[in-house]
Homo-oligomer: A and B are copies of this chain.
Amino acid sequence: MAKRYLTLTSLEHALSILKTSFQVPERRETIPITHAVGRLVAVPVYARYSVPEVNIAAMDGIAVRSSDTVGASEQAPLTLMQFSRVNTGNIVPDTFDAVIMIEDTWEWEDTFQIRKPAGPGQYVRPAGEDVRQNQLVLPAGHLIRPFDIGALATYGITQVEVNRVRVGIIPTGSELVPVGVRPKPGQVVESNTVMAQVLLDGMGATCTRYPIVRDEPDLISRALQVAVSENDLVLISAGSSAGTRDFTAGVISSLGDLLFHGVAIRPGKPVMLGKILGKPVLGLPGYPLAAQTILREFVVPLLETWGLAPVQRYTLRGKLTQAINSDPGFDDFVPVYAGRVGQTCWCVPHMKGSGVQMATIRANGYIHVPAPLEGCERESEVEIILTTDPNRIERTLILPGSLDPSLKDLANYVHNQGLFIQATEVGNMGALSALQKNACHAALMSLPVFSTPPDCPFLVQHLPKVGLVLIHIATIETGIASRVELDPEDLVNVRWINTRKDSAYRMLFDAMLSSRRIDPVSVNGYTHEVNGPDAVATAICNKIADAGMCNTGIAAAAALHFMPTGQQRYELAIRPEMLGDPKICSLIAAIRSQEYHRILSKYSGYDLSQTGTAHQYFKDYTIRELSKDIPFEVLSA
């Protein structure tokens, strides 16, 4: 098979081609001010009249001629014959140039006495104080905000001229079905152009989404010609199948010039740029995360230089919880989630493939690893570009460890209370390592229940010096899941799938093999490790394996056979000094709530009799039960 991209253009060079090869459309539209928030002013806006238009009293009192008041004093009060009674906001009649507060006057038989002079202009809001007729209100390029609208309305401005860019978006791909249609196996919902439209509409673009075009050069060519004639910019979204993009490149070349195809960027490498009738045609990759990167790094900046509203970029410095690898020469964009533990903002990279859209949903930001770097080391400082409200970072809980399906219910429950759980599957060892480094708010551990203490040797071994507090979530029935019923006496002749060495599932599996005197080497698939019980069940359903360790709930949800073999304790592990953290207190309260108990009750095989109990583990592995009060009274190590 021929290499698809002969030469990759650098990101920097590609962006410079994109920004310099096309004329700015300079198209305008006039919109009512009530629709103008978030738009950029294209034509300067001037006040239609002065505000206030005449002199206005700034106090309740009397309007006077200041020259009449000269010489007034306590010793020599003056009686004014010429005045006009005014309230705040009233017009100051033309013959007067000052206002005296009512408190500073003595009313006497329809006249007023004063005891000090008033300077010209005193307590008068002069005409034009706020704005003068024809004064510049909004310069071109001004980003319109909600409170600007009030001023515009006050100044007699009811509409503004803003830039307009028409963007045509063509989805291509024979495997695509429109949004709302249930895809058949092998089909994909055409969602990239919906995402593009929502994003670009938000900048003020006028988007047209064309119907899905099948993978046929003639059809693509015809659709492209229509879109180019009707728009200032065309995005052509490749299908995710392999051959499609080559059609697009060929079609662009046949209608105009292909300026580049393939950029040293990840995700997003297959991006291409064409020029047809002087207009840019950008070929988006089909993988969702790749399409997102190209929209964000290519399309948004282009539209910004064309005068559409900028997409806000809020950045934050953070420390990586794990290393990121990157090929030198490639600009990498990695989704991350960030949360602040004490003073440090920790940043957890999502290293999944570019087809995993859940990574974007879970992420609250991303980082850019520039082309010259080979990656970023663990605990190195990086700049995080946020994709959510910055205040949410402060309410994000980083909880690595062993993930159990019940955790999503906890996340859901506390999310509603304004706490955002970001959990990654790193196993029990990862949990202890993050606790050790103080790189998490708390961690999730799944501990096998053995009859003899210490029940968990690696917990003894890796317990931080300060010890730990464990909050019990549930005791979960564990066992063997399989597609067809297994013969309990013949566990060797099936394809097993296994979990990580440090998982409770693995420890219980090993204990079972040992008790039955089965050599792990003889177990087919013993070395085939996946992340957790969910992945075990998925692999069995997908016939990648026949059997593996799992829990009752997951096996039932996946309609698998289940043979109980033991139990595990699912625990929230916390460094004692973190127990005062308000987020941690809320989390513990949530675990102990009736509502969460009710939610967990739906899982079969979950024993909730100990849920919410708290134990402090000291470095010497002595254990003390803590009271039900939060925050706990904790003993020092």
Contacts and interface: CB of A to CB of B under 8 A. Distances in A.
The A interface is mostly helix, strand or loop, or mixed, namely loop
A537 to B, nearest CB: 9
B146 A288 contact: no
Interface stretch (A72-80, A308-316, A440-448, A608-616): A308-316
A44 B411 CA distance: 11
A154 B121 contact: no
A153 B49 CA distance: 49
Contacts of A71: none
A146 B361 CA distance: 10
A625 interface: no
Nearest to A173: B89
Contact of A188 (B88, B154, B538, B557): B154
Instruction: Please tell me how many copies of the chain the complex holds.
Output: 2
B292 A150 contact: yes
A453 interface: no
A542 interface: yes
Nearest to A296: B147
Contacts of A179: 153, 158
A374 interface: no
B195 A132 contact: no
Interface residues of A, number: 121
A303 interface: no
Contact of A124 (B146, B186, B291, B544): B544
Contact of A194 (B136, B150, B240, B544): B150
A147 B195 contact: yes
A452 interface: no
A528 B194 contact: no
A102 interface: yes
A194 B132 contact: no
Interface in A124-140: 124-132, 134-140
A288 B33 CA distance: 17
B191 A131 contact: no
Given A89-B175, A130-B356, A148-B361, A416 B67 contact: no
13 contacts: A48-B182, A54-B185, A56-B186, A89-B240, A120-B495, A121-B539, A130-B356, A134-B557, A145-B388, A147-B387, A151-B361, A154-B288, A312-B391
Given A129-B355, A149-B191, A150-B195, 12 more contacts: A48-B182, A49-B182, A49-B183, A87-B241, A89-B175, A130-B356, A140-B412, A141-B420, A142-B415, A149-B198, A150-B291, A156-B182
